[in-house]
Structure formats: structure tokens, C-alpha cells
Amino acid sequence: MHTNPSPRHDVASTMNESTRLNETATQQTLKIVVLSLTSSLTRRQQVMDKFALLNVKFEFLNAIDGRTDTHPYLQNYNEQAFLRHRRRKAVPGELGCYVSHLLAWEQCLAINQPLLVLEDDFELTSDFIAGIKVLEALAANVGYVRLEPLESNWVVTVWQQPHFSLVKQLRVGMCATGYLITPNCAKHLLKKAKSICYPIDLFLKYTFIHQQTMYALCPPLVYPTHTDSIIGIKARKQRERGLGLQLQRFFYKWFYVIANTTTNLINSYKK
């Protein structure tokens, strides 16, 4: 599903079509944080090199290592709920990733301004600098904007210009490599995210739970590389055996497919 942009949408009124998308990042007002383990020295250097080339300002937010750290939020892991949703137990790196995003949302609330959040395994596209200027203009009228490639074309276009468009997602993709979040959205997500019942990207996909509209900016500004992930692709593909667990997983999966799609359809008609 792909619809034409609505000229009445509030987002459109915030954008001036004469915006110079070729401006450099020297006028950047949007704060950027990169979630990164303090021990990930190679990744941190790569991040610094990428942004130095573009003269982009950013800060590292020290991520939580679920294997070794003892952050109190890690105690909120609900293993039985995680099993129902994923048919496997969480791996330590996954729990640390979840908590790290919560810390970013708390920072967004603390500074009371929009925040661009990146995981440190991102790669930038050629549209990144121009996209920052677009996000700065849109931030007053959105809550959460995904910045990575769409996984589904089931979207509703709400604003469009010659190069960029803003869409509402009817099927939200996985991964949380890069996104814009505003304080109001951060507040609502934090209320629903304290108990760790699923990976962070699945929580964001479950709009039925948090009720936030999931926007995406097209074309994407970043994409994930998944290099040297401490979570591990193989670990995430493992599944616990047992007919009872399989039936629970089947029920939960399809319940949330229907519930999330319904929520996203309702949100698509909201201004």
C-alpha cells in the first residue's frame, strides 16, 4: 500500500520547499548520539572517522554490555515472556542493547530536545547530511522516524519533496540502527519498555503496545552492517523445542501481526 501525500498533513506545513539540502553540517542543530561499548575501540574509531569526514558533531553514549555490566534495568528481564515472543531466551548482548536504547531515550527526555540515535555498526548513505536538515525541520511534528531502509512498501506518504519523503509504516521493520526520537515519544516508549520481554527492535515493531506512530524517512540515511555483533546472528536464530512453546509463539505472532497492523492503519489516518 502506497498512497499519495496529503496536502493537509501538519508535517507538510513545517517544511519550506526552498530548503537548501546541500548545506554542510556546520549549521547542525540536531544532537546525535552513538551507542557504543567502551571496549569497542575499533568501532569507535570508525565512527569518529566517518563523522570527521563530514564535519558532523556527535557524542558517544556508553552502551551497556549485558555480558559483564550490572545495570539495574537488566534485572527487568522477563524470561518467560521472551520465550513466548521469540521461542528462545535472550542472549546477554541483546539485553545490553535493549537497556542502552532506554538510556538514549532517557537522555532525550533529560535534554528535552529531539535526538538522533545510532548504533555503532551503522554505515552512512550519501543522503545523510541533507537528511539531517530535513529531520531538523520535521522534528516538531513527529515522534519517531526510522532512518534505515524500508523492509516493506506498505507505507502511507505524508510529506514529499523532490528528493525526500516522509512515510508512515503499516509494517514496521526490524533493526534499530538509526532513528530520530523526540521527548514526547521517548516518554511514552519508556513507560511501556521497562520490562524486557523482547528484543528492542521487536518492541518498537509492536506499535499495539506503545501506540506510537512509526515514521520513516526515504531515501534512508543509514544502514546496518552487523559487523562483529556481540549478540550473534546464530544465537538469534536458535529456538527452544516443545509443542506448547511453539503453539504459544504461533498465537503471539499472529495476534501481534493483526494488532500492530490495525494500530498502524489507525495511526495512518491521524494528523
Q: CATH number of the domain that 66 lies in?
A: 3.90.550
d(CA 144, CA 155): 15
Q: Which residue has the higher pLDDT, 86 or 184?
A: 184
pLDDT at 16 (0 to 100): 42
Other beta carbons less than 10 A from residue 150's beta carbon: 18
**4-18, 138-152, 254-268: which is most confident:** 138-152
Burial (CB count <10 Å: 0-12, 13-18, 19+), residue 259: middle
What are the distances in angstroms from CA 249 to CA 79, 101, 197?
14, 25, 13
Of residues 171, 176, 179, 177, the one with CA closest to residue 152: 171
- pTM, rounded to two decimals: 0.85
pLDDT at 158 (0 to 100): 94
| Residue 229 pLDDT grade (very low, low, confident, very high; cuts 50, 70, 90) | low
pLDDT at 58 (0 to 100): 97
Residue 4 scores a pLDDT above 60: no
Q: Which domain holds residue 137?
A: 2-268
Residue 8 scores a pLDDT above 90: no
| Residue 23 pLDDT grade (very low, low, confident, very high; cuts 50, 70, 90) | very low
| Residue 236 pLDDT grade (very low, low, confident, very high; cuts 50, 70, 90) | low
pLDDT at 14 (0 to 100): 42
What are the distances in angstroms from CA 151 to CA 160, 173, 178, 228?
19, 5, 14, 23
d(CA 2, CA 12): 18
Round the average pLDDT of the chain to a whole number and report it.
86
* Cell numbers found for residue 136: 531538523
| Residue 231 pLDDT grade (very low, low, confident, very high; cuts 50, 70, 90) | low
Q: What is the mean pLDDT of residues 177-201?
A: 96
Q: What is the mean pLDDT of residues 92-101?
A: 96
- Least trusted range by pLDDT, from 65-69, 138-142, 222-226, 250-254: 250-254
d(CA 6, CA 49): 40
pLDDT at 234 (0 to 100): 59
3-state secondary structure 55-103: CCCCEEEECCCCCCCCCHHHHHECHHHHHHHHCCCCCHHHHHHHHHHHH
What are the distances in angstroms from CA 73 to CA 60, 96, 100?
20, 9, 10
d(CA 82, CA 197): 5
| Residue 13 pLDDT grade (very low, low, confident, very high; cuts 50, 70, 90) | very low
Q: What is the count of structural domains for the chain?
A: 1
Q: What is the mean pLDDT of residues 135-149?
A: 95
Of residues 119, 123, 89, the one with CA closest to residue 101: 119
Contact predicate 158/6, CB 8 Å? yes
